[in-house]
Amino acid sequence: MNTAGHSEATARRGLELTPFRGLRYDPDRVGSLAAVTSPPYDVVVRPDGLHHLQSADPHNIVRLILPQATTPTARNEQAADTLRRWLAEGILTTDPEPGLYVYEQRDGGGMLQRGIIGALRVSDPTEGVVLPHEDVMPHVVADRAALMRATSANLEPLLLTYRGNGSTSSAIEVVERVADRPPLLATTTEDGFSHRLWSITDPDDLNRIQSDLSQHQALIADGHHRWATYRRLRTEHTSPSPWDYGLVLLVDTARYPLRVRAIHRLLHGLPVADALAALDGLFRIRHLPVPLPEALEALADAACAGSAFLLAGDGAFHLIDRPDPDLLARTIPADRPAAWRTLDATVLHATLLDHVWHIPEDDPSRIAYIHDTAATVEKAERDGGTAVLMHPVREEVVRDLARQGVTMPRKSTSFGPKPASGLVLRALDL
């Protein structure tokens, strides 16, 4: 590790990204690299997506990040046994020397994103180095922590963004120069995204990246629960230890802007008719006999003027907006910035879920959080529940609130594209 870079990062309270020996699939031992990858664990829509990934290849990474067994302990033991077996069989192999990794994603529409994967020093929010913008659910952190303990591995990188100097920064210069070389791996997943990975092992290049990053702070774009898990596991081990660091992908959004999408809610056991009846007199309700794309356009238009949501699940779409100001005043805490009080997610959680519908936000038997819009609607229609479709919040709003130390309601945003799981892992005991 670069000691000078370490001292500089610590002194400046900036990002400290260190090389590691990546654990990667041997392409000669699996059907295809695309077939062993997966979206992040919390994006896989169970059970459909899980079963599809499990059947795509017997070595799909989902068998590690979402193991299936009858109890949590059995699931984690199964993941650990699977990881050990794949290592012993050479399915997964360790790169010969430590490095950082350049990771590239492209889609068919011309979107290009590049970032750096490495082991980032785990810090507390009070240090102002890594900024969370959402609260976490304790049971999810406990679940991820148990899995990481059992496997002694970071199985998938979380996504962080920082605002560098774009194309003029030394880190980006190294990234784009490295991306001109032949990659370690290249594959295209079924969603149409192409993925390429390169390693950076040259000491001068590593020093330039570390020095550049030491001047910046990062925003958690995706992976709040995994970052909270890193923080918990760090406290369980005597420092210095490998648990002082966690696997991340860092993207300079001054050079490669991310997309920000909404995360939708599926309310179990609440039919749309009942959800709407509870809103009578509290919100304006408009029934939209139009297809999903047109309904989302109507939601976007309404969201320009204030909080708005689409309800679905009964074969139609219902736009709710213009909440009663007295209702908001009674239900939304007044001790937060105006930008937080007017967030759609704030109104949803503080007003609709807590006050109107009485649904606990962290009870998986009552509510699910789903990234895919169409899937949320389909599940609501199939199960007789209510889909609550959200409009995405702007990245600058997220970053400004995070810098103020104000966290948004859980699952408020979905930044992307997210890194594919299964391209590079980090074993903590290698």
Residues 121-169: pLDDT tens digits?
999 988 999 999 888 889 999 999 999 999 999 999 999 999 988 667 8
**Residues in contact with 425: Cβ distance below 8 Å, sequence separation at least 6, in sequence order:** 22, 23, 24, 92, 153, 154, 155, 156, 247
Share of the chain above pLDDT 70, in %: 93
Which of 20-34, 47-61, 111-125 comes out lowest in average pLDDT? 47-61
Higher pLDDT, 6 or 319: 319
For 172-210, the pLDDT digits (tens) are 999 999 999 999 999 999 888 999 999 999 999 999 999
Q: How confident is the model at residue 406 (pLDDT cuts 50, 70, 90)?
A: confident
DSSP strand pairing (185-188 vs 245-252): unpaired
Q: Mean per-residue pLDDT for 302-314? A: 96
**pLDDT exceeds cutoff 60 at 410:** yes
Q: What is the pLDDT of residue 54?
A: 63
Q: What is the pLDDT of residue 55?
A: 62
Q: Mean per-residue pLDDT for 26-41? A: 90
Q: How confident is the model at residue 11 (pLDDT cuts 50, 70, 90)?
A: very low
Enter the DSSP assignment of 41.
Answer: T
**pLDDT exceeds cutoff 70 at 81:** yes
Share of the chain above pLDDT 90, in %: 73
**pLDDT exceeds cutoff 90 at 376:** yes
Closest among 193, 306, 342 to 259, alpha carbons compared: 193
Q: What is the pLDDT of residue 33?
A: 92
Q: Would you put residue 282 in left (φ > 0), alpha (ψ -120 to 50) or beta? A: alpha
Q: Which tokens hold the place of 353?
A: 């879920």
Q: Mean per-residue pLDDT for 375-402? A: 92
Does residue 157 sit in helix, strand or coil?
Answer: coil
**pLDDT exceeds cutoff 80 at 288:** yes
Which of 56-60, 73-77, 170-174, 205-209 comes out lowest in average pLDDT? 56-60
Q: Which tokens hold the place of 376?
A: 């949320």
Q: How confident is the model at residue 339 (pLDDT cuts 50, 70, 90)?
A: confident
Closest among 225, 224, 217, 200 to 252, alpha carbons compared: 217
**pLDDT exceeds cutoff 60 at 61:** yes
Closest among 314, 388, 326 to 352, alpha carbons compared: 388
Q: What is the pLDDT of residue 167?
A: 67
Mean of pLDDT over the chain: 91
Q: What is the pLDDT of residue 53?
A: 63
**pLDDT exceeds cutoff 60 at 104:** yes
Q: What is the pLDDT of residue 7?
A: 38
H/E element, 386: strand 386-389
**Residues in contact with 149: Cβ distance below 8 Å, sequence separation at least 6, in sequence order:** 76, 233
Please state, in angstroms and rounded to a whole number, the distance separating the CA atoms of residues 14 and 218.
Answer: 9
Residue at token pair 């704030």:
346
Burial classification of residue 365, based on how many CB atoms lie within 10 Å of its CB (0-12 exposed, 13-18 middle, 19 or more buried): exposed
Q: Is it true that the peptide bond before 240 is cis, omega within 30 degrees of 0?
A: yes
pTM of the model: 0.80
Q: What is the pLDDT of residue 126?
A: 87
Q: What is the pLDDT of residue 52?
A: 63
* Maximum mean pLDDT: which of 244-248, 251-255, 399-403: 244-248
Q: Which tokens hold the place of 385?
A: 């529940």
Q: What is the pLDDT of residue 1?
A: 41
Kindly provide the b/e burial profile for residues 10-26, where b requires at least 16 CB atoms within 10 angstroms of the residue's own CB: eeeebbbbbbbbbbbbe
Q: What is the pLDDT of residue 49?
A: 56
